Amino acid sequence: MIGTVPKAYEAIKISEFNYELPDERIAKYPLAERDLSKLLVYKEGQITDAQFRSITDYLPENSLLVFNNTRVIRARIHFFKSTGAKIELFCLDPHEPEDYAVSFAQTKTVVWKCLIGNLKKWKSGPLHKQIQCQSTLVNLTAEQVESDDTTPLIRFSWDGGVSFAEVLEHAGIIPIPPYLNRETEESDLDRYQTIYSRIQGSVAAPTAGLHFTDRVFQSLKSKNIERAELTLHVGAGTFKPVKSEHVIDHEMHTEHILVTREFIEKVIQKIDNIIAVGTTSIRTLESLYWMGIKVMHDKNIPEHKLLVEQWEPYEMPEQTPATDSLKALLKYMDHHQMHAISSSTRIIILPGYQYRIINGMVTNFHQPQSTLLLLISAFLGDKWKEIYTHALTDGYRFLSYGDSNLYLK
């Protein structure tokens, strides 16, 4: 598959997307008020320093802001062996049943893909833990399941008649980013969620949305700026650095998305004024375009094959207008009597990628040599270097709990 990717992308080196990020510039904690963070606005080649609370002043009227309504789950569960050894299970994705909502509703057993911390100490046999779910004492067991994949499968079993969502809520810990170099604290339970998060499934927050408050939403309404929500469950791979010299050798992670018919219709209506909040919203919107191209070629393609593979957008160069692609997706949904599309994406957005749907983005500052930095470079070109240099010089706070950017075409 990689052999069909254009030569221009094969030449991209991750070292070209590096910058010096001192540890003291990484925001270890959020500000006291979400919307008091700084806002760097980039439009028509100009950089403006502002406060996030005033973002409405810089957004074009009649824009559609697209939010990711995923909610971070308490994905880290600690078990202790009789020897005292601590084993951490980091829940990534449901395997059996595969659907998130169905998995969370189970009351006896589920199988999840997990990362295992301190695996050497867990040689064999089940792990046990007692948890208090409100008035019910629950016995939780974790066992390794054979898997053909590289990611371990763990079967969780429990009694008490409670749901797996409740088990996680009482047994798990919110997984804050590893680069914060600290343990999860009580304040993270609230501040590492957007105020509009609804659909459980992420192991990392869509952090561009952490700055929004009810006050900001009220100001958006006053300027006739609409909102729409999609769901992409953010995986742990979002923190995975690009370790290969050439970007083409990096393997992207799979993330699950859910979009409704009403959402797609609204995007079509506002196609020239789409502002994505966060890289997860961007990846979902752009993936929808390629899903539409797929159904234009095969209206009977199964839903699970709508998955956008990492290099597919570069293997099938398309000039089809975004509205045509999205309308084809709506026809496909009508044909299959679907209210929503539930699929996945592994899309990687590189410098040189032509954005099909978005006209702007709200995003935080990203790690050096990360796929997220590649994504914004695809929008900004080399201007990202000037923007990041300005931010470092001007006291902006970086990464998940840091300050925000608004980039407009």
**Boundary (domain end) residue, out of 138, 173, 208:** 173
3-state secondary structure of 209: helix
Say if 384 falls within a structural domain.
yes
> Tell me, what's the pLDDT at 29?
97
Q: Are residues 137 and 252 in the same domain?
A: no
Q: Are residues 62 and 88 in the same domain?
A: no
CATH of the domain at 202: 3.40.1780.10
Say if 181 falls within a structural domain.
no
Q: Are residues 288 and 217 in the same domain?
A: yes
What are the per-10-residue average pLDDT scores of the chain (409 residues)? 66 94 97 97 97 97 96 96 91 94 96 93 90 92 88 95 95 94 95 97 96 97 95 84 89 93 98 97 97 94 93 86 97 96 95 96 97 96 97 97 97
Say if 179 falls within a structural domain.
no
- Cα–Cα dist 144/280, whole Å: 31
Q: Are residues 251 and 316 in the same domain?
A: yes
- Report the number of distinct structural domains present in the chain: 2
37, 207 in Cβ contact below 8 A?
Answer: no
Say if 309 falls within a structural domain.
yes
Q: Are residues 324 and 268 in the same domain?
A: yes
Q: Are residues 122 and 20 in the same domain?
A: no
Element (H, E) at 331: helix 322-335
Q: Are residues 233 and 110 in the same domain?
A: no
Q: Are residues 87 and 161 in the same domain?
A: yes
41, 47 in Cβ contact below 8 A?
Answer: yes
Cα 35–38–41 angle (5° rounding)?
110
pTM as predicted: 0.94
Residue 33's identity, in one-letter code, is E
> Tell me, what's the pLDDT at 3?
45
> Tell me, what's the pLDDT at 321?
96
- Cα–Cα dist 326/267, whole Å: 9
- Which residues constitute the domain of residue 158? 75-173
Beta strands 64-68 and 274-277: pairing type?
Answer: parallel
- Cα–Cα dist 344/284, whole Å: 9
Phi (first) and psi of residue 286, to 5 degrees: -65, -35
- Cα–Cα dist 72/92, whole Å: 11
**DSSP labels for 116-178?**
EETGGG--SS-EEEEEEETTEEEEEEEEEE--SSSS-EEEEEE-TT--HHHHHHHHEE----G
46-51: strand order across its sheet? 46-51, 38-43, 404-408, 360-364, 274-277, 64-68, 226-233, 255-260, 340-345
Q: Are residues 88 and 112 in the same domain?
A: yes
Q: Are residues 39 and 147 in the same domain?
A: no
Say if 178 falls within a structural domain.
no
> Which residue's structure tokens are 């910058």?
19
Q: Are residues 247 and 324 in the same domain?
A: yes
